Amino acid sequence: MILAYIGGLILIALASIGGYWLLTVNSQRLAQYDRLLNLTHQQQIRAQQIALLANELALFADASQATSIRAELHVLRDELWRTHQRLLADVPTDSLNRTTTVLERFLTYVDNLTVAPPALLNRNNTDLRAIQTNLIVVQSDLSATSSILLMQSQALRDQIAFIQAGVVVLILSLLILGGVLIIRPYARRARQEAEQLRMLSLVARYTDNAVIITDRNGQVEWVNEGFTRISGYTLDEVRGKKPGDFLQGPETDQETAVALSQAIRNGESIKTEIINYTKDGQPYWLSLDISPVYDEQHNLIRFIAIESDITHQKEMERMLRSALKESRDIMNALDQSAILSIADPEGRILEVNERFCAITGYRPDELIGKDHRIFKSGIHPPEFFADLWTTIKAGRIWRNEICNRAKDGHLFWVDTTIVPFIGDNGQPERYLAVRFDITGRKKSEEQLRASETRYRSVITAMSEGIVVMNKAGVIETCNASTERILGLSYDQLVGRTSFDPRWEAIHEDGTPFPGEDPPIMVSLTTGRPQSDVVMGIRKPSGELIWISINSQPLCDEHGNVYAAVASFHDITARRNAEQELRFQKTLLECQTEASPDGVLVVSPDRRCLYANRRFREMWKLGELNVEQAMCAASMEKILEQVCDPERVRNEIEELYAHPHLTGKAEIELKDGRTFERYSAP
């Protein structure tokens, strides 16, 4: 018995060991299959990431973002290829071999897009479209590989279960030991799978994209939080519904909606863009990618939809189209009105418009490739062009007036602005020159200077102020009398316009004098002379002066006004005298002897201008005239009547010292009367 028991134990032990060995071998194979499945899943995720980054690079990335996106694409591309080589070594299946060709083509398009210049990065890029097309094939082949691995893994699991049952029958103690040895790798694998599921759950939860899972009929089974953030609908609100029933609205393209429905009915994948509506009725653009999911028997079981909110992208595209249209319109307008040329960094002409050829007399084929020195007139010194090149090579805009020589030898002037176009390396790639013909203006300026020379001596000798204003309304010259009358220097006057607020010009009634109303401006705009126009101007010292102005337009031989001249003289003294007389007359007419109050009007220099009869009676001055009543002796007599003469005297002195003040006070007289004094300027 003992020997039999020992032999049985030995047999059981050997069987247990054999079973453990088989379990270990099969578990290792199963772990390998799980690892390979994980790698295929990672391959699918990397391929999707590459496609998303390619879209971002082509549609959204600016220059700074493009560099980091290209680097990330390069890293993902290398990881995708290295992992595929590992799969080929461990899983020699026909589907994976077929994947190699598709994957190589996919990565070739990725490489092409990564090195593509920024100008080719847009939604119509052929490499981008090829990446999107090949992504579906890569995903399909990887799904097929995953299905094969899942089938083999399931068969291996069945074998392990059979061996486990045999070990249980053999011996409980060895089963416990074997169970510990078997459960441990399973537990580890289970934890790994749980961690993978947790990571995928985090991706689905925190991704900005919306993820929708529907059944084979298109009814919602699950949505992630990204869907809720974009649409406003929760899972409980949409479970069992078809997305099109509650997401589509008036602006949704019906052809796109029909194509989506047709793809669902046919069990096909589809990628498109569509307008959906949020829960509160706001429209938004989506990039929609729907993929069918099949079981091991290739039966359609559900659909997975990945939605990306591209509303901002669509708005940027709209703004870009608007900006491009505006740029084209501006360039067309410039081409019709301006003289345009484009040169390379060395100054060689690349393009010219018709107006450029018309003014220079050269044909386009005579200009392309030539240097701008062929137009050199010899008018400007070398320092002029040195400053030009220093400015534009530094990437700054240069503007000035240039005298050029045409093909037939005649000179012409152009107002020139040169704009550098800066490349990715920070250096100018091209120069756009915008010119306007100012030859006529230059001739007029020359004529004006000649005329100015002829008449300067006459103007200088005149006692009246003389001002010459050009057609633009700018003072070009004046004489010494102008400086004296207005209190401004020659440099302060030249260059001013009538619209300069520093003039503080007013009419005789005190209303402002608009910049277009001065006589010299009227003569400029109407061509008619003006005479004896009175204007008030405040000098820099604050003094208000009044001048009487005459103006005369200056015309060329065709009768066109090119300037105007104004003469004026100071009438401030005369006007002040007239105002003083009118003031006194008005006062005398307005004050009546019947007023119940005593009224006294004095000037700042303590001259009495008026006192009514009631004032004389109140102060018992009798029939004395005003001047006599207001003399120092009589003032003392008045102060003798008040209770506090010193206070009254101080108040009067305060009013003389500050004539702008308004005051009110009571004066008590010794005879018991009380006067209320009110004073105002």
Strand order in the sheet with 283-294: 220-223, 210-215, 300-309, 283-294, 270-277
Nearest partner of 479 among 566, 573, 572, judged by Cα: 566
CATH of the domain at 359: 3.30.450.20
Classify 422 as helix, strand or coil.
strand
Burial status of residue 229 (CB atoms within 10 A of its CB: 0-12, 13-18, 19 or more) = exposed
Q: Judge whether 514 and 505 are in contact, CB under 8 Å.
A: no
Check residue 628 and give its pLDDT. Answer: 47
Residues belonging to the chain: 681
Indicate the range of 109-118, 271-280, 409-418, 484-493 predicted with least confidence. 109-118
Q: Which residues pair with 341 in a beta bridge?
A: 352, 433
Q: Cα separation of 142 and 144, whole Å?
A: 5
Give pLDDT tens digits for 143-200: 777 777 777 777 777 777 777 777 677 656 554 544 444 555 656 776 766 666 566 5
Determine the pLDDT at residue 216.
Answer: 86
Question: Among residues 314, 347, 377, which one ends one of the domains?
Answer: 314
Q: What percent of the chain shows pLDDT beyond 90?
A: 16
Tell me whether residue 447 is in a domain: no
Q: What is the DSSP pairing of strand 270-277 with strand 283-294?
A: antiparallel
179 with 65, same domain: the answer is yes
Distance, CA of 366 to CA of 100 (rounded, Å): 57
The amino acid occupying position 195 is: E
520 close to 564: Cβ distance less than 8 angstroms: yes
* 613-643 residue pLDDT tens: 777 778 777 665 555 445 555 677 778 888 8
SS3 533: strand
Q: Same domain for 186 and 75?
A: yes
What is the rounded average pLDDT of the residues 110-129?
74
Same domain, 173 and 216: no
> Does residue 291 contact residue 269 with C-beta atoms inside 8 Å?
yes
Is pLDDT above 90 for 550?
A: yes
CA torsion, ordered 340, 342, 348, 350, to nearest 10 deg: -100
Q: What are phi and psi of 640, to 5 degrees?
A: -65, -20
**pLDDT: which is higher, 452 or 378:** 378
pLDDT at 372 > cutoff 70: yes
Amino acid letter at 161? A
- How does pLDDT run across 480-523, given as a tens digit for each residue? 888 889 899 999 999 998 888 888 888 988 899 888 889 989 99
Residue 416: pLDDT band with limits 50, 70, 90: very high
More confident residue, 556 or 100: 556
Tokens of 524: 């400029």
Assess if residue 512 is contained within a domain.
yes
Shared domain for 485 and 423, answered yes or no, is no
Per-residue pLDDT, averaged over 659-666, amounts to 81
pLDDT of 3-22, one tens digit each? Answer: 555 666 677 667 667 766 77
Give CA–CA dist 598/539, Å, rounded.
40
Token reading at 375: 């137009």
Residue 331 included in any domain: no
Domain coverage including residue 22: 10-204
- Among 47-56, 237-246, 400-409, top mean pLDDT goes to 400-409
What is the C-alpha separation between 399 and 418, in angstroms, rounded? Answer: 6
Whether 257 and 366 share a structural domain: no
Q: Report the DSSP beta bridge partners of residue 642.
A: 669
pLDDT digits (tens, 9 = 90+) for 327-343: 666 667 677 778 888 99
> Which of 189, 204, 219 marks a domain boundary?
204
pLDDT at 267 over 90: no
Helices (runs of H) and strands (runs of E) counted in the chain: 22, 19
Residues 343 and 394 in one domain: yes
Question: What is the mean predicted confidence (pLDDT) over 389-412?
Answer: 92
Of residues 552 and 186, more confidently modeled = 552
Contacts of 233 (CB under 8 A, 6+ apart): 223, 227, 246, 279
pLDDT at residue 178 in the model: 47
- Tell me, yes or no, whether 348 and 374 share the same domain: yes
Run of H or E including 368: none
| CA–CA distance, 137 with 114 (Å, rounded to integer) | 21
Q: What region, left, alpha or beta, does residue 334 occupy, with left being phi > 0 and alpha being psi -120 to 50 degrees?
A: alpha
In a domain, residue 403? The reply is yes
- Is 521 in contact with 515 (CB distance < 8 Å)? yes
Across the range 583-604, mean pLDDT stands at 68
Residue type, 408: D
Residue 420 predicted with pLDDT over 90 = yes
Q: Which of 172, 204, 236 is the last residue in one of the domains?
A: 204
CB neighbourhood size of 217 (10 A): 10
Same domain? For 410 and 558 the reply is no
How many other CB atoms are there within 10 angstroms of residue 22's CB atom?
A: 17
Report which DSSP code applies to 200.
H
Identify whether the C-beta of residue 143 lies closer than 8 Å to the C-beta of residue 6: no
The more confidently predicted of residues 654 and 276 is 276
d(CA 458, CA 472): 24
Is residue 160 situated within a structural domain? yes
Q: How high is the pLDDT of residue 629?
A: 44
Count the neighbouring beta carbons within 10 Å of the beta carbon of residue 80: 21
Asked whether the beta carbons of 273 and 174 are under 8 A apart, the reply is no
Tell me, what's the pLDDT at 380?
Answer: 92
Note whether 361 and 406 are within 8 A (CB).
yes
- Give the model confidence (pLDDT) of 375-400 as tens digits: 988 889 999 999 999 999 999 999 99
- As a whole number, the mean pLDDT across the chain is 80
Q: How many Cβ atoms are within 10 Å of 526's Cβ, its own excluded?
A: 11
Between these two residues, 169 and 474, which has the higher pLDDT value?
A: 474
Interval 446-465 mean pLDDT: 75
Residues 548 and 671 placed together within one structural domain of the fold:
no
CA distance readout (Å), 482 to 124, 448, 486, 492? 70, 20, 6, 11
- DSSP codes of every residue in 216-228: TTS-EEEE-HHHH
Q: Are residues 147 and 283 in the same domain?
A: no
Whether 319 is covered by a domain: the verdict is no
Q: Confirm whether 122 is domain-assigned.
A: yes
> Looking at the domain assignment, is residue 248 inside a domain?
yes
pLDDT (tens digit, 9 = 90+) per residue, 219-230? 998 988 888 888
- The mean pLDDT of 103-116, rounded to a whole number, is 77
Assess whether 188 and 145 both reside in one domain.
Answer: yes
In the chain, what percentage of residues exceed pLDDT 70? 83
Show the tokens assigned to 62: 């600016």
Residue 23 φ/ψ, nearest 5 degrees: -60, -40
**What is the CATH classification number for the domain harbouring 171?**
1.20.120
Domain identity same for 217 and 108: no
Structural domains in the chain (count): 5
